[in-house]
Structures are given as structure tokens and as C-alpha cells.
Amino acid sequence: MSRTDDIKAYGLTAYPRSSASLLSSRVEPKEPHALGVDDIPLPDSALVGKVIEYAKEELPVETFNHSMRVFYYGIAIAKFSFPDLLTPSWISTYLLTALLHDIGTTPTNISSTLLSFEFAGGLLVLDLLQKEGAPKAQAESVAEAVIRHQDLGETGSVTSITAVILLATIF
């Protein structure tokens, strides 16, 4: 894929960092309605399967469940506010991000470095995803979102993956 294709496919397009600006930028937002877990299927790929298993093994059950809620909340937010994002590659990238966004908080990972858990987690997932065969752009998108998933603010831009994960983790 070209650089431009990678940016779109893996959620690297710039979006406003400010939650208020992001939400006011919606074009024709859809009227929300109730969604169940069954209405949001998980992507099905070898990479996703490996990362789900990795997350289940490495994360405490409460953190894994939180990560899954972040996935479902984010997809619901995107469905009604940013439906153009919801391509198969974007959804897979978002799921990988949701599953791994708190990987730096595990007792093993947090005690193995002096880096903040966001940076340690971002570096860890960049390596993990590349070793598992993720395209470089996808691995970089997930790593950036993991690093910035608590980077709330009113100025600047973040990637679309980061923008949605920011919303999903604060709601």
C-alpha cells in the first residue's frame, strides 16, 4: 500500500485532540440507538486472534474486560459519529489498540522500566505486533495510540484511532 493508503487504512488521519472540537466536527451524526455486543462483531484474523489470546494471558481479568468495553464503546461512538472510519482495517486496528492500550500497567511491565506505562506499553506493542506480522503502519498506529491514549487536551491533533480511544476511555 502507499503511504496515503496506510494512513487511511490504519487510522493515522489527523483528528482534533480536543473532545469538544472532535464532537463538533461530526458530519451528519446518526441518531443513536441501543446496541448490544452482538451488534458489534469482532474482526476475524490470525493477528487479532493472537492478540486476544496475548491480552487474556497478560492482563488481569478486570483490565481485559475494561479493554473490551473500550472496544465496544469506541465502535459505538464511531458508528454514530464517524461512520466513514469503520473499514475492516480500521476496526481491526482499533481492536488491537483497545486490547493493548493498558498493557504497560501489568505488574511485570510496570516494574521492568522507569518509563511511564503509556510509553513502555507503546514500545512493547510496536515490537509485539511487528513480530506477529502486522503491517508496519498498523503496528505504528497502535503504538502511537497506546502512548497517547491519556493525552487529553485542547490543542493539536491526534490520529483517528487515538481520538476514538480517548473518547471511549473517558466515557
State the fold for domain 49-170. Hypothetical protein af1432 (1.10.3210)
Q: What are the boundaries of each domain within the chain?
A: 49-170
Taking CA atoms, 30 is separated from 20, 74, 81, 156, in Å, by 17, 15, 6, 26
In degrees, rounded to 5, the angle at the alpha carbon of residue 100 between the alpha carbons of residues 117 and 80 is 115
Tell whether the model's pLDDT for residue 29 goes beyond 80: no
Going 43 to 48 to 53 to 56, the CA torsion angle's sign is negative
Going 141 to 152 to 57 to 43, the CA torsion angle's sign is negative
- Write the DSSP symbol of residue 9: H
Q: How confident is the model at residue 171 (pLDDT cuts 50, 70, 90)?
A: confident
| Encoded amino acid at 116, one letter | S
The string of pLDDT tens digits covering residues 39-56 is 999 999 999 999 999 999
Tell whether the model's pLDDT for residue 26 goes beyond 90: no
Q: How confident is the model at residue 17 (pLDDT cuts 50, 70, 90)?
A: very high
Structure confidence at residue 1 (pLDDT): 86
The string of pLDDT tens digits covering residues 147-168 is 999 999 999 999 999 999 999 9
The string of pLDDT tens digits covering residues 112-136 is 999 999 999 999 999 999 999 999 9
DSSP per-residue letters across 45-58:
-HHHHHHHHHHHHH
